[in-house]
Structures are given as structure tokens and as C-alpha cells.
Amino acid sequence: MDVTVELEVFQQTASRWYRQWIEGGREALEAPVVPGTGLDDTQIAAIREELLKGPRAHGFATGVCTLGRVAIVIERLTAVQYGPTQTWTILRTRLGWSRQRPARRAVERDEDAIVAWRER
């Protein structure tokens, strides 16, 4: 029986697995634990609570909330470092949040004054 055919993998992969097994036994073949995949509901609740305080509450100069800043807050709370993709996944799937973009127009914008100015 050809192991590569049976497992549908390349010869190099089978050879690497064999070397790992020879050098470290069955434990060497176990999948590595991905950091941060085990955030529990208590940690998620704490993350939500802290993020709702806003970026300024965590020492950031502006109120703009970015994935990088969210990742920093999460790392401070859990001691686990996340990249932008993982951070977005936490926000989207665990917190149920969506991407928010600021409006392109200023809140103070006076449409009537703009129309009057254009007509003059």
C-alpha cells in the first residue's frame, strides 16, 4: 500500500510526517495549538465591555477604533496577540459587530447654506 496515495498527500509531506514521528513519536504529529482560539465567554464579555469604553479610555490619542487598536486592547486583557484578520474574526463572529465607517459629510454641514452659496 502506498501511504501517499491512501492519504492523498505528496511524498514530501509523508516523508516529513515520518521524520517527525521517528524523532518525537506520536506527540510530534499532533497539530499545534493556535494561540487565542480558546477565548471563553467571560473573556469575550470583558473584551466587549472594554471596547465599548472607546479608544481614548485605553490611552489612544483619538476616538478612531482600528483593528490594530482593538488587538492591543485584547492583548492587554488576555495576554494573547492577534493579527488584523483574527481580530476582525473576534469582532464579527464572537461579538457580532460589523464594520462601521464614519460619514463622509460633516455633522455640522448646513445644506441650505450650501445651496444659497452655490446660487450666488
Residue 25: φ, ψ to 5°:
70, -165
How many angstroms separate the CA atoms of 37 and 34, rounded? 6
How many angstroms separate the CA atoms of 103 and 99, rounded? 13
Confidence of residue 103 (pLDDT cuts 50, 70, 90): low
Dihedral sign, Cα of residue 97, residue 101, residue 103, residue 107: positive
Q: What is the pLDDT of residues 26-64, one digit of tens each?
A: 888 887 665 556 788 999 999 999 999 999 999 999 988
Q: What is the pTM of this model?
A: 0.57
